[in-house]
């Protein structure tokens, strides 16, 4: 009996070592190196594939189509040079590092030029939610890039190829930031340009790091030179390149983590402290910079008293937001100078995000549900609406005995909304009223 107990740890070690052994199914090392080296070069077909993929991704961002963006990422060859750099560092192959870096710079330049030309000539210049999501990196982008890179290089070292690398290309999202940078350049929006480039750099860097780690874990042979002096020089160059790249990345990653923590705490603070029935937050701006943290809120509805505002500010410490400036703007009836286009863009972005989320519909008696007062919000968001009526009603079908309920919104307008504005109004109403069935009727005043 004792012998069996003694064998249990050994059996567990054998089980896990076999299950998680990366050397099982590993391809020939020379084949892996040759394959990654070939994919690191953008000449002829791969270069044209990149250009067409960039155009497709730019169109997807322009029209806010997730499916088109995913399709572009599937055909993108951008992973090649990034993995080539990581492989070159891991195998002491400075030529491969230089080749991968050179081709990555070429690919980046061509991608930005292509997307800039597209966004310059397209008639649609509004920044949609898919594009806005690629302007600043978060801690999740770092995590996805790192784990995606691990999955990608493991798949590249297997004998049996799978669909992992296309999946990694989608998850790490290398192309959309480059297209967003092109949009920023075409529109003269430098925060978009530099923010998107920053996101692309972070994604590329952590894919490269994960590639290096797996290459060293699998003990790929390092390149040796006949002249020891040359070998030392190459090793020194690679070490300097790694330090120049990794040390700033650690600082940048730390900043991203701190910013993500601040934004998460700020969102929780806003959600819990501004939960009022007659006052609503319609726009929020979170600013995080070195030595400066600010929460800027725009409210509509009943104004909060100064006593209430001071009480809310006193709760910042509870949410680990010490040193954060809380700026509250309210009193739309006082005709403050407010950027209404910014408010509309912010709320429309939230609406489209909610529309894309999968939700479980719960059937309830809609006729018993009270409908909120949306007058103040309609004045801000859709000034062309001059009057409205809102009611839950019963629809009786003549071909069957069944009945259904829907929410009916009837509006008198100064001018008939365009088709796109009607879609926006309908989307906002469904999100604001939390209804699935909605009918809208417009009449000119």
* HEC assignment per residue over 23-61: CCCECCHHHHHHHHHHHCCCCCHHHHHHHHHHHHHHHHH
What backbone torsions phi and psi does residue 101 show, to the nearest 5 degrees? -65, -40
Look-up of token digits 């590639």:
211
Domain positions in the chain are 21-223, 262-351, 374-444
Between CA 104 and CA 400 the distance in angstroms is: 63
Which tokens is 347 given?
């709320």
N-to-C CA span, the chain: 91
Separation of CA 355 from chain center: 16
* CATH 1.10.600 for domain 262-351: no
Same fold for the pair 262-351 and 374-444: no
CB neighbourhood size of 323 (10 A): 9
CA dist., res. 422 & res. 365, Å (int): 27
pLDDT by residue, tens only, the chain of 445 residues: 455 555 656 666 676 666 777 777 777 888 888 888 888 887 888 888 888 888 888 888 888 777 788 888 777 778 888 888 888 888 878 788 888 888 889 888 999 999 999 888 888 767 666 666 666 666 777 778 888 888 888 888 887 766 666 676 666 677 888 888 888 888 888 888 888 888 888 888 888 888 888 888 888 887 776 666 666 766 676 677 667 666 766 776 777 777 888 888 888 888 888 888 888 887 788 888 776 888 888 888 788 888 888 888 888 888 888 888 888 888 654 344 455 555 555 555 555 555 544 433 433 444 556 778 888 778 777 888 888 888 887 776 665 556 667 788 888 888 888 777 888 888 888 888 888 788 888 887 5
Per CATH, the architecture of 374-444 is what? 2-Layer Sandwich (3.30)
Cα dist from 387 to 46, 301, 365, 378, whole Å: 57, 18, 27, 9
What is the chain's length? 445
Secondary structure (DSSP) of 294-362: EEEEEEEESPPPHHHHHHHHHTGGGGT-TTEEEEEE--GGG-----HHHHHHHHHHHHHHHHHS-----
Report the C-alpha gap between 203 and 145 in whole angstroms. 5
Helix then strand then coil, in percent of the chain rounded to 5, is 60, 15, 25
Q: Against a cut of 0.85, is the pTM above it?
A: no
Closest Cα partner for 440 from 382, 400, 399, 396?
382
**Distance (Å, whole) CA 80 – CA 57:** 18
* C-alpha–C-alpha distance, residues 224 and 229, integer Å: 11
């Amino acid at each position: 009996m004792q012998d069996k107990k003694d064998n249990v740890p050994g059996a567990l070690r054998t089980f896990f070592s076999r299950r998680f052994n990366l050397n099982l199914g590993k391809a020939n090392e020379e084949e892996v190196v040759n394959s990654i080296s070939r994919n690191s070069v953008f000449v002829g077909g791969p270069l044209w594939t990149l250009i067409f993929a960039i155009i497709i991704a730019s169109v997807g961002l322009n029209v806010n189509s997730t499916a088109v963006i995913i399709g572009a990422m599937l055909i993108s060859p951008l992973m090649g040079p990034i993995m080539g750099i990581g492989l070159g560092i891991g195998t002491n192959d400075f030529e491969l590092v230089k080749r991968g870096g050179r081709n990555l710079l070429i690919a980046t330049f061509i991608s930005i030029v292509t997307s800039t030309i597209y966004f310059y000539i397209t008639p649609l210049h509004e920044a949609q939610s898919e594009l806005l999501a690629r302007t600043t990196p978060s801690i999740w982008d770092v995590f996805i890039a790192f784990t995606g890179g691990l999955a990608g290089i493991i798949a590249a070292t297997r004998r049996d190829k799978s669909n992992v690398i296309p999946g990694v290309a989608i998850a790490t999202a290398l192309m959309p930031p480059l297209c967003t940078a092109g949009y920023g350049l075409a529109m003269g929006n430098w925060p978009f340009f530099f923010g998107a480039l920053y996101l692309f750099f972070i994604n590329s860097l952590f894919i490269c790091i994960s590639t290096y780690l797996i290459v060293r874990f699998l003990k790929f042979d390092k390149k040796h030179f006949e002249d020891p002096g040359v070998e030392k020089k190459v090793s020194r160059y690679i070490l300097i390149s790694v330090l120049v790249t990794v040390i700033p990345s650690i600082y940048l990653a730390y900043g991203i983590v701190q910013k993500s923590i601040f934004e998460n705490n700020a969102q929780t603070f806003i959600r819990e402290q501004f939960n009022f029935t007659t006052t609503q937050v319609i726009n929020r701006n979170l600013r995080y910079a070195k030595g400066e943290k600010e929460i800027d809120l725009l409210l509509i509805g009943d104004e909060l008293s100064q006593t209430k505002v001071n009480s809310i500010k006193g709760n910042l410490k509870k949410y680990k937001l010490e040193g954060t400036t809380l700026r509250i703007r309210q009193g739309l009836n006082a005709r403050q100078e407010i950027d209404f286009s910014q408010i509309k863009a912010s709320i429309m972005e939230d609406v489209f995000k909610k529309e894309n989320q999968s939700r479980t519909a719960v059937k309830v008696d809609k006729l018993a549900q009270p409908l909120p007062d949306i007058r103040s919000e309609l004045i801000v968001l859709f000034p062309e609406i001059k009057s409205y009526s809102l009611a839950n009603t019963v629809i009786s079908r003549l071909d069957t005995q069944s009945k259904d309920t829907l929410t009916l919104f009837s509006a008198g307008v100064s001018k008939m909304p365009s088709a796109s504005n009607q879609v926006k109004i309908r989307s906002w109403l469904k999100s604001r009223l939390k209804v699935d069935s909605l009918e809208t009727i417009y009449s000119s005043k």
